[in-house]
Amino acid sequence: MTQQGAALQGYNNELVKCIEDLCMQKEDLNKQIQQAEEEKNRLQHEIQVLSEQLECVCENLAQKVASRNELDKILAETEAAYMKILESSRTLVNVLKKEVGSLKHMPDLKTN
């Protein structure tokens, strides 16, 4: 019976050691889980901050694109008006040249 008691005591010791090992593994795993949760929370916070920054950049970009489009429109209208002025100026110069040319053919304006 002593032999059986010693065997039982040996099994009990092994069982206690296995339970202690499992408890240590659980503690290690709990630490890893806690670290992973902290990392997850940190990353989620960074994502939120970056999302807010992205939203601001997108709004700013949209405003700048709208301003550029408005400037493009104004520039196109101004260039078109300027081209009309140039065309009118060219026409005026041509008309004036013809008038001056016809005046030179008049006898009163000829100089000797």
Q: Are 103 and 109 in contact (CB under 8 A)?
A: yes
- Of the listed ranges 36-50, 64-78, 89-103, the one predicted with least confidence: 89-103
12 to each of 5, 17, 20, 107, how far by Cα in Å? 10, 9, 12, 141
The three-class DSSP label of residue 112 is coil
Residues 6+ apart with CB under 8 A from 109: 103
pLDDT at 2: 87
Q: Are 102 and 108 in contact (CB under 8 A)?
A: no
pLDDT at 49: 98
Residues 82-108 have a mean pLDDT of 89
Whether residue 40 has pLDDT greater than 60: yes
> CA-CA distance, 40 to 14, in Å (whole number)?
38
> CA-CA distance, 56 to 46, in Å (whole number)?
15
